A and B are shown apart, each in its own frame.
Chain A
């Protein structure tokens, strides 16, 4: 396809986005239903044009059209097809186009599925969404056009950065953008509510599915990015506190706070002003992340754009949307009526505590990321804020969050009974202590962090189960009744318990990996062996191999445990010929939840080859935990109450007696 079609489609998309910004909001202002109804059609057209532009760029990559500059710079005719396609967003221009495509996708989804939204709210939401689209389309068209031609066309491209030639590029950025940009919807809802000057519990119910979806995608997106860095960068770390990782972590903290405070708002009509602020903050931090990554202001391993004109442009977008929304917030929020009251010890109180700590964690990441920049521009001093800072501050703030987590769901709304909740958590606490003791015994001395952390992780997982058991009144009523109760629980309850258990699983992986991992650095000749984590590895042979666009040097190791051979592991150094850039392809074997990780180094002066090997116990739980969290989000999302556009149930079910949960009742009798 002709690249100019793509360029033209982007211009048309811009025109549509401008109309989408102006017409529905104007219609909502003057109360003209016809004008408001234009919004959905425009949102769908917007998606159509952006989708067309994206398809044209993809076609240019697939056909290796080296008359397009972007393709020349990031593709190669010999590149495997998968990486030709993923290469579309493996560069600055293309990834911004993906950003706008996801934005358009969310806008169209609101247009199509938001049938139960009040007309003015829907019109304002689509209008605000449109305005974000205008800003980013202008950014693409003026500074980052992916459709620029080179004349005359070139015969061959320069290939994609080898580090990006990986399945991770197919998975991580789209998921991350679905999360990042998904928060544009909650932002649009918040700004729409502020424009309208009206907000109630129903608003929270409309926003929650979008916040949950964005949060779930962001969770998996971050986890996949972490796993990708783990196996691709070859030094065995899974979190580096790189500014780009921080950029995705900040909206995650804000988003996590948002999905929790939105519950309070929906159920209790409280925390409205705060929830609005979180909705604004989550997307503001996403925008900030986009700015940090795209402007190259913090040059890090991810930054491939270093043109300052782009940075200034995104900074403008940032100031406009964050400043504008916060100004609107300052103006309108005091007018919003506060809702239900609650005692400090209550479900609401627990969620407020969660919000407070998560926000402080987001602040820690924000300050740590921006402080070196601020200091340097203030007095020219150059300092580094590295992992020790983040581990300490974020760790200190997250510890109370995860410890308090099992208590929250067991407290009643309005006024809870902490002692009762603690009593119900006794079994979880007992299991946690047992696990801690077992871990201490296995470890045989050493730092206390491991046993305590693992005990905490077990407490969280069992605590999530206790929450469900309590809801089913398991053990207090006949089994059949319990089963019936558990079956009758809303899926959101299961989703919450699952997500909370996922946090415990993730924590277990983090603690086990950091405190028990084993490392061996050694030089090996063929036939020589070494031991790591109870496994004996023998370098059997080293052989050269050829791929489509690279040459490999692969070391094949035989794994033995207790003298018996249990398999092989292959680790390579890869040289990508087009760019003459080497990468490491770590060899990884998974045993249960643990992994053996081998990465090859240089050939040594005295013969032989450098080898760095790790035993990483329970490391996969880190990512599995994150996936479980996201699945919990998805399960909640499938709850019919939250399903977008779900019709009302035919008849309300008769209220079931749930004495231990009645908010007005005295603290539940502990049994």
Chain B
């Protein structure tokens, strides 16, 4: 475990140090439309020995191999989906920069919006509860008003401002 972590760190540092120029001119497909597809797919695929780089950005030998593989499949007539499926069957979901939408990953995708919905619902409930208090029309007691005025009087004496 420790050794793997160390190895990963060394790899990360080593890769970072490399001259970063990723896609080489000699890799590119002659057909511009196919090349554009290859570039688009490359941006969605992870260079697995790098930290947080797509194969489009990385200059690691593995990234180059994957780029060539993607282009080979495209030339062979695969659709974008077929290329991706092929890479996942070979390297697992780790290769996808965009997590899939099934299994436990649903939690991942929904979590931010759950925070939003739960937070919003909580706020609404709190608002409703407060709204149904006996005297909802008296937002501040005179004592509170006075206190607020005192606190804010350091400003300009104008409570209504800002």
Binding site for B on A (CB under 8 A): 161-163, 200-202, 205, 233-235, 237, 240-243, 267, 269, 296, 299-301, 303-304, 306, 308, 338-342, 344, 352, 356-357, 359-361, 363-364, 367-368, 371, 375, 378-379, 381-389, 393-394, 397, 414, 490, 492-493, 521-523, 573, 579, 581-584, 599-602, 604-605, 610, 612, 641, 648-649, 652-656, 658, 661-663
Contact = CB atoms under 8 A, between A and B. Distances in A.
A446 B109 CA distance: 28
Contact of B162 (A200, A267, A384, A579): A267
Contacts of A344: 127
Nearest to B105: A383
A610 B156 contact: no
Contacts, number: 209
Interface of B: 2, 5-6, 8-9, 12-13, 16-26, 28, 44, 46, 51-54, 57, 92-100, 104-105, 108-109, 111-113, 115-116, 119-120, 123, 127, 130, 136, 139-140, 144, 147-148, 151-158, 160-162
Contacts of A339: 144
Which of B13, B46, B112, B144 counts the most chain A CB atoms within 10 A? Answer: B112
B156 A389 contact: no
Nearest to A413: B160
Given A267-B162, A388-B44, A389-B98, A306 B5 contact: yes
Contacts of B157: 652-655
B151 A201 contact: yes
B52 A658 contact: no
A164 to B, nearest CB: 10
Contacts of A382: 92-94
B150 to A, nearest CB: 9
Contact of B130 (A341, A371, A378): A341
A301 B21 contact: no
Contacts of A205: 151
Given A267-B162, A299-B8, A610-B24, A384 B96 contact: yes
A172 B127 CA distance: 42
Given A341-B136, A384-B97, A388-B98, 16 more contacts: A161-B13, A201-B148, A201-B152, A233-B16, A235-B57, A306-B6, A339-B144, A340-B148, A356-B116, A360-B119, A601-B19, A602-B19, A605-B26, A641-B155, A649-B154, A653-B157
B125 to A, nearest CB: 13
Contact of A364 (B53, B97, B112, B155): B112
Contacts of B25: 521-523, 604, 610
Contacts of B158: 653, 655-656, 658
A610 B23 CA distance: 9
A424 B139 CA distance: 28
A606 B25 CA distance: 11
A386 B21 contact: no
A649 B158 CA distance: 13
Contacts of A393: 109, 112-113
A163 B16 CA distance: 8
Contacts of A653: 156-158
Contacts of A663: 160
B156 A386 contact: no
Given A359-B119, A385-B99, A521 B23 contact: yes
Contacts of A492: 162
A661 B154 contact: no
B94 A584 contact: no
A234 B19 contact: yes
B154 A604 contact: no
Contacts of A201: 148, 151-152
Given A582-B19, A610-B24, A360 B46 contact: no
Contact of B52 (A301, A340, A610, A662): A301
B67 to A, nearest CB: 12
A522 B24 CA distance: 7
Contacts of A662: 160
A384 B5 CA distance: 17
A588 B28 CA distance: 25
Contacts of B130: 338, 341
Which of B52, B53, B123, B144 counts the most chain A CB atoms within 10 A? Answer: B52
A523 B25 CA distance: 6
Given A388-B98, A601-B19, A296 B9 contact: yes
